[in-house]
Structures are given as C-alpha cells and as structure tokens.
C-alpha cells in the first residue's frame, strides 16, 4: 500500500510573486493529482489549472510517482510555446519531488502551498471537485480513457467559466 510521503525542500508559496494573486497574466498554474480509491490500481490524473483563464487540463498517469508527473507535465507543456508558463503552485506530495527538473526543463518556477492549506490552490481544488462529479471517489482511473478524461475536463472548464462569468456580473451589482 502506498503512503502519502512528503518532502520539505523547495520554495514556499510565501515567496511566490504577489502579482500571481491578481490573475492578470497567463502562465501561472496550480497542479495536483486526483487519485483512484485505495486498494485499486495506483492510476490517477494529474490536473493543471491556469489561474487567469481557469483553463483546466487533466492527464492520465499510471501512478503518483515523480517520474509520471514529469511525463504529464511534459505532455501539457508541449501544447504551449516554450517559456509561456511562469509559475506552478503545488502541494508537497511526493509526486512533485521532481520540481527541480520541472524548473530546469520547462523554465517554470515551482512554489509549494503550506500544509493543510488547499485554499492556496483553490482554482485547482474547485476544478478537481468538478472532475469528481464524473469520476467519484472509488472510481479506478486505470479504467478511464484519455477521451473520457478530455470530455470531463471540457465540461468542467465550461462550468468554471460560467461561475467566473457570474461572479464578474455580481461584482458590478
């Protein structure tokens, strides 16, 4: 059975540039994993949420290893121009132990949220909740095809855009 595992090195979210909070520029990402139920396969989905646009991308992974996360990040990074991603904010799960490689190969600065502070990556956590509408806890991600995952995150992205649009409308009232 896999234990969670954490590490204590890397840059804290408190060191992240304050401008990331304003959501005024593209390229600031929140990363996480959505896992299968315990006892089933170790398959999971790596999730990436861009803070400004709320763009949500999910990639199937065979397990929660740093190596699998590096591959998933490479898949997502290959869809955009080199250097367009500026920062990534993650939790301290062991799948992000590859952060130095992420910084070196993808030219993105990685920051780690504080323990038990999922709200510091709120866009990603919210989107993951929407993804769970399609794949509830206990669902084995080994049985999820790339097409099913793409359909689910496409609908989740539209829901996030709707929430963001309604929030902006309420700001004017």
Nearest to 90 by CA among 71, 105, 108: 108
What's the pTM value of the predicted model, to 2 decimals?
0.84
pLDDT (tens digit, 9 = 90+) per residue, 53-98? 988 899 999 999 999 999 999 999 998 888 789 999 999 999 999 9
pLDDT (tens digit, 9 = 90+) per residue, 143-157? 999 899 988 877 766
Integer CA distances (angstroms), 82 to 31, 87, 105, in order: 18, 13, 10
Torsion-angle region of 5 (φ positive above 0: left; ψ -120 to 50: alpha; else: beta): left
- How many whole angstroms separate alpha carbon 126 and alpha carbon 139? 18
pLDDT (tens digit, 9 = 90+) per residue, 97-126? 999 999 999 999 999 999 999 999 999 999
What domains lie within the chain, and their CATH numbers? 11-161 (3.30.420.10)
Consecutive H or E run containing 146: helix 146-171
């Amino acid at each position: 059975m896999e234990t969670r595992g954490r590490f204590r090195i890397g840059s804290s979210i408190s060191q992240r540039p304050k401008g990331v909070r304003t959501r005024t520029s593209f390229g600031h990402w929140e990363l996480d994993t959505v896992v299968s139920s315990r006892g089933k396969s170790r398959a999971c989905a790596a999730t990436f949420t861009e803070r400004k646009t709320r763009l949500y991308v999910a990639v199937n992974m065979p397990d929660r290893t740093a190596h699998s996360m590096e591959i998933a990040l490479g898949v997502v990074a290959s869809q955009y121009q080199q250097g367009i991603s500026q920062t990534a904010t993650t939790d301290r799960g062991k799948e992000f132990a590859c952060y130095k490689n992420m910084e070196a190969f993808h030219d993105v600065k990685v920051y780690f949220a504080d323990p038990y502070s999922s709200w510091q990556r709120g866009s990603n956590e919210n989107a993951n909740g929407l993804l769970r509408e399609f794949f509830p806890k206990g669902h084995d991600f080994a049985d999820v095809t790339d097409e099913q995952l793409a359909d689910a995150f496409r609908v989740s992205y539209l829901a996030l855009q709707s929430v963001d649009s309604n929030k902006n409308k309420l700001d004017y009232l």
